[in-house]
Every structure is written in C-alpha cells, then in structure tokens.
Amino acid sequence: MMEHLSLDELFREARAAAKVERTEAFKKQEAAARRRIDPVSAVPEPLGIFADPDNWKQTRGVTLIHGPTQTLLGNFWELRHKTVPDARRLVRSEEPIPVTTLETVDFGVVQLDPMIPAHQALSERFVTLDVQLATPAVSAARVLLRVEYYEQWTARVVLVEPTTFAEAGEILSLPAGIDILPGMTRECKRAVKLA
C-alpha cells in the first residue's frame, strides 16, 4: 500500500535531502583540501624565520640621524636574529631607552618635508634656549640653535655646536648640524616660536 504525502511533506523531504547532499559535498571538499595541505610535509615559507618574533633578540639602543638632512630620527631598539647573525631590525622606541651608539643613515630621501620646495631659500636666525627632546626624553640648558624658516613656518631647528643632553641617567651627545625639530617637545617648539 502506497502512502500519499502532501506537497508540504514532499517539499520538506526534498529540502532535507538537499541539505544532507550539500553537507556531504562540503565535507568531501574539506577532506581534499586537508590532503593537499599536509602540515607535516608542507614546506615552510623561506622568510618565515624572520616573521617569528621568537627568533629576534633585543641587543642595544641606537640613535639614528638622517645623513643628508642631518635630522634626528629618534631612538630605536636593535634586534638581532638568533640564527642569521647578519640580520637586524630597528624598532622605534617612544620611551626613553639607554642608547649605546649613534648611527647616520641615508635612505636616499632628498627631502623629509615635502611641503618645503627644495629650491626655496630658507630664512634663519640664531637663538639660545633650554631644549627638551620628547624622544628621547632628555634636555640641555642654553643650547645655541639655528632656526630656519620657510615663509613664516619653522622648517628646521639645527644644533650649532655639539650638544650633550641628559636626564634620569641617560646621556645623548649629538654633533653640530643635527635638525632636532622632529624630536622636540611641544613646549620647546612653542618656546622656539616665541624666542
């Protein structure tokens, strides 16, 4: 004897069968993908050893100066790779750190501030001020500075003489000719404008 199903019941059975079919197809695709990517036989990415933070060891503090513009770029932690001795990373530190070396770098950058045309002459004046740097957090009293202006804006604040900055057990010596504007505190930048 044949059982008669209503259209609603037939529709429910068809939907259930389709769902089972889709689930089985998905499981087959997933299993095939797992077979293709076997974690045991997978070849590691060549640069993967450099992406793993456990492979890096923090060594010393470095102050960077941009050579062509003589601009203070800030303090960086030097990290050395544990298995590749020549590989190193520099990571900027916003906090005061003990600095053991001063390095000059050249990124091939012609000009750090794109708002100042390279051919434009800058006006300048000399001032003596107490200077506080934000990064690193050090200061020096009565520093002779050459302040360079582009139109009415302060473009650069350059050390005229070699200067030693100190604070809370940290000493930073910078040679003459370094633009310290990027590293100055907001209050110190304000004092330059008012001087």
State pLDDT tens for residues 14-25: 788 888 787 887
pLDDT band at residue 110 under the 50/70/90 scheme: very low
| DSSP code string of 9-45 | HHHHHHHHHHHHHHHHHHHHHHHHHHHHS-TTTPPPP
Residue 17 forms part of a structural domain:
no
Residue 98 forms part of a structural domain:
yes
Residue 99 forms part of a structural domain:
yes
Q: Is the pTM of this model over 0.75?
A: no
Residue range 122-136: mean pLDDT, rounded = 87
Residue 160 forms part of a structural domain:
yes
Of 42, 72, 105, the position where a domain reaches its end is 105
Residue 11 forms part of a structural domain:
no
Q: Are residues 133 and 190 in the same domain?
A: yes
Residue range 40-52: mean pLDDT, rounded = 60
Write down the mean pLDDT value for the chain: 79
Q: Are residues 100 and 137 in the same domain?
A: no
Residue type, 15: R
Closest CA to 113 of 153, 160, 144: 153
pLDDT of 112: 46
Residue 59 forms part of a structural domain:
yes
pLDDT of 44: 52
Residue 22 forms part of a structural domain:
no
Strands (E), 42-186: 56-66, 71-81, 88-92, 101-105, 123-133, 138-150, 153-159, 163-167, 170-174
Of 71, 105, 139, the position where a domain reaches its end is 105
Q: Are residues 62 and 95 in the same domain?
A: yes
Q: Are residues 135 and 185 in the same domain?
A: yes
Q: Are residues 87 and 146 in the same domain?
A: no
Q: Are residues 89 and 57 in the same domain?
A: yes
pLDDT digits (tens, 9 = 90+) for 150-193: 888 888 899 999 888 888 767 777 888 888 888 889 999 999 99
Q: Which two tokens stand for residue 169?
A: 């057990």
Judged against a pLDDT cut of 50, whether residue 143 lies above it is answered with yes
Residue 115 forms part of a structural domain:
no
Domains in the chain: how many in total?
2
Structural domain harbouring 177: 123-194
Beta bridge partner(s), residue 12: none
Q: Are residues 91 and 152 in the same domain?
A: no
Sign of the torsion angle spanned by Cα atoms 63, 67, 73, 79:
negative
Closest CA to 163 of 135, 144, 189, 184: 144
Q: Are residues 154 and 96 in the same domain?
A: no
* DSSP code for 184: B
pLDDT of 3: 66
Q: Are residues 127 and 99 in the same domain?
A: no
pLDDT of 53: 83
Higher pLDDT, 75 or 122: 75
pLDDT exceeding 90 applies to what percent of the chain?
16
Of 105, 139, 166, the position where a domain reaches its end is 105
Residue type, 125: R
pLDDT digits (tens, 9 = 90+) for 51-91: 788 888 999 999 888 887 788 888 888 888 888 777 788 88
